[in-house]
Structure 1
Amino acid sequence: MNSDVDGDKENQAEWEEKMRLINQVLELQHTLEDLSVRVDAVKEENLKLKSENQVLGQYIENLMSASSVFQTTDSKSKRK
């Protein structure tokens, strides 16, 4: 009868360890899912910022080309 009690305790300990591991795996899966969502959001934000950067770069180029201050001048031809 004593061996039955020991066997039950071992089974209980194994079951508790399995449940602990299952809970840990589930927690890690949720963490991974959260991180994946965050990575996707950061990628999306990065693409948005790259696009805005291109628009701003083009705007600055257009302003510079329209301004006489930034026009290239040929000083030799003006002196002659």
Structure 2
Amino acid sequence: MIASPYQFLEKQRQACSSDTDPEEDMNEADQEEKQRLIKQIMELQHTLEDLSARVDVVKEENLKLRSENQILGQYIENMMANSSVFQSTSPRSVEPRRQTVHYGSRGT
């Protein structure tokens, strides 16, 4: 539907007489969006800093645990070497037993 000249002029008059300038409204909207994005970026930066600090703590803990595991492994090896329970009683080395697999009928 085509607007009558009267309707067109009325809309123009209302636009001119309004208290806010459309350009100001746009600038305010842009400023609000900019502030929202800045806030979001700052939150993400803080999250990244927190995660980075956590990674550093976990790396340090990992190194400590690896060192402890290595020390415990050496301790266990030394204990086994000094214990008669883990030493062979015969001069020859013990070979693992081979399991024989039988195919076919079962003991009937």
TM-score above 0.5, yes or no: yes
Structure 1 residue runs without a partner (length 5+): none
TM-superposed CA distance for 1:75, in Å, is 5.4
- What's the TM-score, normalizing by structure 1? 0.86
Aligned length: 76
Runs in 1 of length 4+ with deviation above 6 angstroms?
none
The match for 2:47 among 31, 47, 55 is: 31
Q: Deviations over 1:9-41 (max 9, x none)?
A: 100000000000011001000000000000010
The one-letter code matched in structure 1 to 2:51 is L
Larger radius of gyration: 2
TM-superposed CA distance for 1:5, in Å, is 1.3
Identity %: 64
For 1:13-52, list aligned pairs within 5 A. Answer: 13-52=29-68
- What's the TM-score, normalizing by structure 2? 0.65
Indicate yes or no: 2:83 matched with 1:67: yes
Larger RCO (CA under 8 A, 6+ residues apart): 1
CA distance in 2 between partners of 1:24 and 1:70 (Å): 63
The one-letter code matched in structure 2 to 1:22 is I
Which structure features the higher share of helix residues?
1
CA RMSD of aligned residues (A): 1.8
CA distance in 2 between partners of 1:73 and 1:15 (Å): 85
